Amino acid sequence: MKLIDADKLTDLAAALARAGYRVVAPIDDSGVVRLKEWAEGAAIRTDAVPVNSAKDFLFPPSEIIGRWDLDGDDFTPRDVQPDAPKTVLLAVRPCDAAALTLLDTVFNWDYKDEFYNARRQAATVVPMVCTAADEQCFCTSVGGAPDATAGADAMLRPADGGTTLILEPLTDKGNVLLDAAGPALAEGDAVADPPVEIPRRFDVEAVTEWLSRNFESDLWPAISLACLGCGACAYACPTCHCFDIQDEATRRESVRLKNWDSCGFGLFTLHAGGHNPRPDQAARWRNRVMHKFSYIPERFKLLGCTGCGRCARVCGAGMSMSEVCRLIADETKKAPTHES
């Protein structure tokens, strides 16, 4: 098997960068662990879940998808190609990789998103098995696991008490990456460490079942009291994929942009006539939960949440998807309602 010392992950990054990969890894950024492009000298940190998710590199916060030259009343379209360099998502989390199954599905459901697909095809995904977790982690409650391989081209497995990493290829892309890593990897034997045990925090099937009959519920205003209506949770989420199309023009040029958007914002559903069908955070949180645990499962037979816990870690107001799901699951344990 292919091994690398756990403290030599930057050597692997350097080897892959030399081989022509844009290396995206969890980097210490002024004390914050952030997924970003690795450059010589940057420290890779695998001891905390990065504040952002891997989706940033497949579906960036803002992307130009069209361009026109303007000259008076005339306009000339210009070719816009996706910016899709060969990329490795190195030492990301299994919950990041799991999210790609949903993003692949949603960006190819009716319209094939050429920008997402170009970036996705150019990406090799190498998650690292989690041997530690925090209170916000809940992958095991949503069908995931700290050593899940969904969406992965190769896995990094901590071994020999965290001193070594096993790099195990899973796909052709993974094999190509192993070849590119070359001498950064050693041949040898090591014993993989057990993945961290993450307690199951709620029964997700009970959540989905409750949602199917509780579009109207007193629980929605109750669970959304703390939400102040920003987009931090959606933007940190590895599966949230809503965007807004905006045209921006000067006198000489117009660009069409695909910008991240969030259902937590009031503007998201504000109609031109002034009516807002989701007038408050109760309605917006209902949509957030329904989308992830009812609409997406119904349409794609997938969950819209991978249990990474980023939403709760970044929330400045203490909202937590796992806590909300636990409260919903608790509802189902109460006495049956009269409707049954």
Partner 1 sequence: MDVDRLRQDAAALLADGRARMVIGFRDRAGDRVPAFITDAEQAGELVYDEACRQNLAAYLKKAELARFRPVAIVARPAVMRSLVLLAAEAQVADADVLVLGVSDDDEYHGILDLAATAALLNEKYAEMPHDPDLVKRIEEISAMTPEERSTFWTEQFARCTRCYACRAACPMCYCTQCIVEKNVPQWISTAAAGHGNYAWNIIRAFHLAGRCTECGACEAACPQGIPLMLLNVVLARDVEEEFGIKVGYDAEAEPVIGSWSPDDGEDFIR
Cα separation of 18 and 14, whole Å? 6
- What's the min distance (Å) between Cβ of 244 and partner 1? 7
Contact present, 186 and 2 (Cβ < 8 Å): yes
Cα separation of 117 and 108, whole Å? 8
Query: Please, which residue, 51 or 302, has the CB nearer to partner 1?
Result: 51
Print burial letters for 72-92: b (CB count within 10 Å at least 16), e (below 16). Answer: eeeeeeeebebebeebbbbbb
Instruction: Tell whether residue 82 is a contact of partner 1 (CB under 8 A).
Output: no
Instruction: Tell whether residue 118 is a contact of partner 1 (CB under 8 A).
Output: no
Query: Please, which residue, 173 or 288, has the CB nearer to partner 1?
Result: 288
Binding-site member from 23, 88, 236, 324 for partner 1 (CB under 8 A)? 236
Interface characters, 300-329, with partner 1 (x: CB under 8 A): --------------x-xxx-x--x------
Cα separation of 131 and 169, whole Å? 19
Instruction: Tell whether residue 259 is a contact of partner 1 (CB under 8 A).
Output: yes
φ, ψ of residue 229 to 5 degrees: the values are 80, 35
- What's the min distance (Å) between Cβ of 230 and partner 1? 4
Three-state SS letters, 255-306: EEEEEECCCCCHHHHCCCCCCCCCCCHHHHHHHHHHHHHHHHHHHHCCCCCC
47 Rama sector, left if φ>0, alpha if ψ -120 to 50, beta otherwise:
alpha
Question: Which DSSP letter does residue 140 get?
Answer: G
Interface characters, 25-64, with partner 1 (x: CB under 8 A): ----xx-x------------------xx--------xx--
Instruction: Tell whether residue 221 is a contact of partner 1 (CB under 8 A).
Output: yes
Give the max Cα distance, the chain. Answer: 69
- Give residue 178's Cα distance to chain centre: 24
Query: Please, which residue, 191 or 317, has the CB nearer to partner 1?
Result: 317
Instruction: Tell whether residue 235 is a contact of partner 1 (CB under 8 A).
Output: yes
Query: Please, which residue, 32 or 43, has the CB nearer to partner 1?
Result: 32
Binding piece for partner 1, criterion CB under 8 A, among 95-103, 105-113, 146-154, 230-238: 230-238
Instruction: Tell whether residue 80 is a contact of partner 1 (CB under 8 A).
Output: no
Binding piece for partner 1, criterion CB under 8 A, among 75-83, 203-211, 253-261, 328-336: 253-261
Binding-site member from 163, 212, 246, 337 for partner 1 (CB under 8 A)? 246
Instruction: Tell whether residue 231 is a contact of partner 1 (CB under 8 A).
Output: yes
Where do runs of H (alpha helix) occur along the chain? 9-18, 94-106, 114-121, 172-181, 204-211, 219-223, 232-236, 281-290, 296-300, 310-314, 321-333
Binding piece for partner 1, criterion CB under 8 A, among 86-94, 176-184, 205-213, 231-239: 231-239
Interface characters, 261-290, with partner 1 (x: CB under 8 A): -x--xxx------------xxx--------
Contact present, 63 and 237 (Cβ < 8 Å): no
Q: Is 325 exposed, middle or buried (0-12, 13-18, 19+ CB in 10 A)?
A: buried
Between residue 148 and residue 207, which ones bind partner 1 under the rule CB under 8 A?
Answer: none
**Residues making contact with partner 1 (CB under 8 A):** 29-30, 32, 51-52, 61-62, 135, 221, 224-226, 228-232, 234-236, 244, 246, 248, 257, 259-260, 262, 265-267, 280-282, 314, 316-318, 320, 323
